[in-house]
Chains A and B, each alone.
Chain A
Amino acid sequence: MNVIETSALGRRYGSTWALRDCTMAIPVGHVAALVGPNGAGKTTFLNLAVGLSAPTAGTVTVLGGEPAGSPAALDGIAFVAQDAPLYKNLSAADMLRLTSSLNLRFDNDYARERLGELGIPLKRKAGKLSGGQQAQLALTLALARRPRLLVLDEPLANLDPLARHDFMATVMAAAAEDGMSVVLSSHVLTELERVADYLILVSGGRVQVAGEVDDLLATHRVLTGPAAEADLMGQQQAVVHARRAEAQAHLLVRTSTPGDPVPPGWESHPVSLEEVVLAYLRQPGAATLPGPARTRTSEPTEVSR
């Protein structure tokens, strides 16, 4: 089952395509990171997936075929938007009651326990909480809905490093506990390697890379060798990004199989997720990796809203 599946999905604002021709599938059971530069279409993609906006072109289904924004989709997906919008004049306790009233399921005990652990006073107004506490409150409200999919839009953007760590720890614990899938967008690359096991890289409104992090790391490596041979190497290997010094060249290449032999005279180094991401971000034209096959070949029904 795929938690989000899109087919030729596009969204246009005025004459600008914020997201274009996006076909991908995010399988269930992952913490998937949506990465890309500002304006790449991350927020647009997430808004489409949670049903906040409707596609201009193509289709998007969630939770194994439910149209985005349908009652079943809304019921099963919890979304924390960028900057964690809350009603600033309501207390944390009121936000709990409000969210519980707006949903069929709400784990009130879990929510109160979590806020207690975090030291967030129930009587304090949401607007009076610190940025980190507001983010945690919004996350707690989302998790207490016991969603099958948690969608987070730039959850770490305004948090200090400690708050980032605590926030992601909460997410990871919840995901491990009850098999919830997570899709989050971020440009904080260093945090991702620790938490994400699935990566989608969007740039310029298109999907550039999609796949499991382990696969990506296994099929990418840095080859270091004489700069003179770099061009030749470029013809033989799928070079994502090349960095040349005086005598040496560092080529980040994609291999078809993990165990590809290293060409003579060259050295192979493993790559970090951050290096792979940066390499693709620097080369928006680099080849797109195919993600997992979409589960359905028939055209999904038009999202009607």
Chain B
Amino acid sequence: MTILNAPAPSRPGTSTRPVPWRRLAWVSWRQYRFSAAGAAVFLGVVAAYLLIVGLRVRSGYASLGSCHLTESHISQTCTTALMLFGGYHVWGETTAAFMLAVPVLVGVFAGAPVLGRELEAGTFRFAWTQGAGRTRWTLARLAVPAVAVTAAAAALSQLFGWFYYPFFAFPADSAFAPQYFELTGIAFAAWTLAAFAIGGLAGVLVRKVVPAIAAAMAAWAGLLLVTILYLRPHYEAALTAHGSGGAPGKSPWVIHQWWVGPNGQAITSENKIIQLINRPQRGYTQWTIYQPEARYWHFQFIEAGWLLVLSLLLIAGTIWVVRRRAA
């Protein structure tokens, strides 16, 4: 060939100037358009449901307004209103249980395919040999959906807080209680981000989308369980109270509660305990280990804080694996 001795033409941009983030973010957005649309529809349906049911719950709560529930005699109107509201409560509890699945569904389904699908389909051979380089590409691919799902989750948890607010007026439903704590405040968004980060790492480790989703869901559920049972009660030293009127203060998180008889023996008979709750007796004391409601936001910040750090570490770990991963 005659070109053997021709010098390679000098080309602009052969320096190591990196490809701008803006363009990488566009790539990430373009590849997410369909998943983003799917997630938006899903979250939109959930939000519409919360809004419609929430409005009915509120009107039911408003009709309870004039009733004094502590009085021994309750008027007929109030009884009807109370029954109606009780029905809403069952609805509310079901909704809360469903809401608990949202972070893991949204987070893992968004996170696991980011790299899992590239590795499964072989398109990483295309993506990782472009001028942008695989590190910046991975960061952009992870950052865009991470921010999106976290913001969507934050908005949804605000809506849920509004939806569930009337129920929190009753002492039995504390926003501090384990089944509501991660649905309210900022914890919901943090748990969603964690699900996304776990999904992202699972995708690059498992290299197949469906098994990665399954693995990430199991890991997320395990983390939540460990958090509720072993971590969260110890963010701050729990308080202990004794007496006969249950835990002090409004809506605390009751971690453990038991009765002690006159001779210092623990009461195990449930019938006896029900009897004691209804009519306190001299010599019987109820002990409670609890976290007072005033600590709710402190706990929210602690949990969201370490989940954020964990998520960032997982994303950093994912990038590390990508950098090391050989074809």
Contact = CB atoms under 8 A, between A and B. Distances in A.
Interface in A80-138: 81, 83, 85-90, 94, 97-99, 101-105, 138
A179 B125 contact: no
B24 A101 contact: yes
Interface in A124-155: 138, 145-146, 148
Given A71-B16, A102-B19, A103-B19, A52 B6 contact: no
B27 A85 contact: no
Nearest to B23: A101
B137 A102 contact: yes
B129 to A, nearest CB: 4
A178 B9 CA distance: 8
Nearest to A64: B8
A32 B69 CA distance: 88
Given A85-B121, A85-B126, A105 B26 contact: no
B30 A94 contact: yes
A96 to B, nearest CB: 12
Contacts of B3: 29, 175-176, 179
Contacts of A1: 8
A148 B123 contact: no
Contacts, number: 116
Interface residues of A, number: 48
B326 A52 contact: yes
A104 B122 contact: no
A47 interface: yes
B294 to A, nearest CB: 50
A200 B95 CA distance: 66
Interface in A15-61: 28-31, 47, 50-54
Interface of A: 1, 11, 28-31, 47, 50-54, 70-72, 74-79, 81, 83, 85-90, 94, 97-99, 101-105, 138, 145-146, 148, 175-176, 178-179, 197, 305
A-B pairs, top 10 by smallest CB distance, nearest first, are: A53-B326, A81-B125, A52-B327, A102-B130, A103-B131, A101-B23, A104-B13, A79-B129, A71-B16, A29-B4
